[in-house]
Structure 1
Amino acid sequence: MEKSPQKYSEQEKHLIFNQEFIPLIDSAYNFAFRLTLDEDDAKDLVQDTYLKVFRFIESFQKGTNAKAWLFRILKNNFINDFRKKVKEPNKTDYQEVENFYNSENADTDLNLTTDLRVEIIQGMIGDELVTALNSLAVDFRTVIILSDIEGFTYEEMSKILNIPIGTVRSRLHRARNILKEKLRTYAQQMGYKTDKPEHN
């Protein structure tokens, strides 16, 4: 159970805000951008989120994961206020996502290439990778972002998304499979062979 809000002086509030949350603003923007797929919406979402962070900062327990707490507020803010305003993708940081999927850790971190050969992923251009990720339903896109890009644990994701850990696991498994199939289709269109052995 979460503890009751603490009482901080104004000076303590500003100190916690500046030390714990200001350094995370770039990460918050990246998360907001991947949710909204729009630069202006992402900036608005981050600004509104940081206003809420400061307003409710007494609910933050010092010594806990500030990034997870911040992302939970941002995600809730997105659901409550911004989801209905999400626009079609028109601006994307292709290089950032391409670098992640082409990284040496992509196989172990994402488990995307366990039955889709590494060379298929590495041979694809960023546009197709990002299009596949962005085409996922926002709930599936979010778990991929939180787990495979931001590196949150299942427990942290459960708190951020306010869903049981079992739901996190099943949603992430389904999201990875959907993304894998989208990438497989792209790979086939590019002429790669994507046959894979049967597995359980």
Structure 2
Amino acid sequence: MNQKDSLLIHIDALYRSALYLVKNEHNAYDLVQEAYLKAFKSLRNGEIVNNERAWLFKILMNTFINQYRKSKTEPSLVDFDSIESFHKSIKEEVLTPSNTENEAAFDELLDSDVKKALEELPDDFRLVVLLSIVEGFSYKEISKMLNCPIGTVMSRIYRGRKLLKEKLTGYAKKHGYERE
């Protein structure tokens, strides 16, 4: 299996995260397609990517952030060259294969109320919560992906979880997870 083919095994996880980011199937598809286009272009130089999953999510997040900024008529601060520096920084890290069975089970367990609560989180919080809780990335990996301090990542995850807890208190009581 060549490098490009091995990148495609992560498409479902990327699409799921893109769907939560943009809240629209068509836009999520476009976002994933754009991320893969950038990834394939960067592989032209023949370098081997060791942590494909993290590298693809970095590209996806940068693409989302750039599109979001562009839509708000702000100048883009993240360019394609930053992906190359990220790639070099993770070159030594070990690739951990995604567990598609767990991902499918997670999707089945998510009730529409839980999905709605995730979608309603502000972008900054939703992004780190998805990367941490749903996709299983470490704080350090998320910090590299989003190009922000690890303390910021930890704070956003904490605040995002707190917001989720507030939104899902009724759901938890209704389903017997929390006593009234």
* Cα offsets for 1:138-165 (capped at 9, x unmatched): 1111111111111101111111111111
- Identity of counterpart residues, as a percentage? 43
* Cα offsets for 1:89-139 (capped at 9, x unmatched): xxxxxx954615xxxxxxxxxxxxxxxxxxxxxxxxx22211111110011
1:97 touches 1:130 (CA, 8 Å); kept in 2? no
Does residue 1:99 correspond to 2:99, yes or no?
Answer: no
Does residue 1:134 correspond to 2:147, yes or no?
Answer: no
Residues in 2 aligned to 1:128 and 1:71: alpha-carbon distance in whole angstroms: 26
Report matched runs for 1:164-179 at 5 Å.
164-179=149-164
Q: Which residue of 2 aligns with 1:9?
A: none
1:53 touches 1:70 (CA, 8 Å); kept in 2? yes
Residues in 2 aligned to 1:184 and 1:70: alpha-carbon distance in whole angstroms: 34
Does residue 1:182 correspond to 2:167, yes or no?
Answer: yes
Secondary structure of the corresponding residue to residue 56 of structure 1: helix
Report matched runs for 1:56-95 at 5 Å.
56-57=42-43, 62=48, 64-82=50-68, 84=71
Closer/same/farther in 2, CA of residues 47 and 132 from structure 1, 3 Å limit: same
1:97 touches 1:129 (CA, 8 Å); kept in 2? no
Deviation at 1:169, TM superposition (A): 0.7
Letter in 1 for 2:65: I
Computing the radius of gyration over CA atoms, which structure comes out larger, 1 or 2? 1
Does residue 1:55 correspond to 2:41, yes or no?
Answer: yes
- Name structure 2 gaps, 5 residues minimum: 73-104
Match of 1:33 among 19, 36, 39: 19
* Cα offsets for 1:31-80 (capped at 9, x unmatched): 11111111111111111111111112268963631111100111110111
Match of 2:3 among 4, 16, 25: 16
Name the one with the larger helix percent.
2
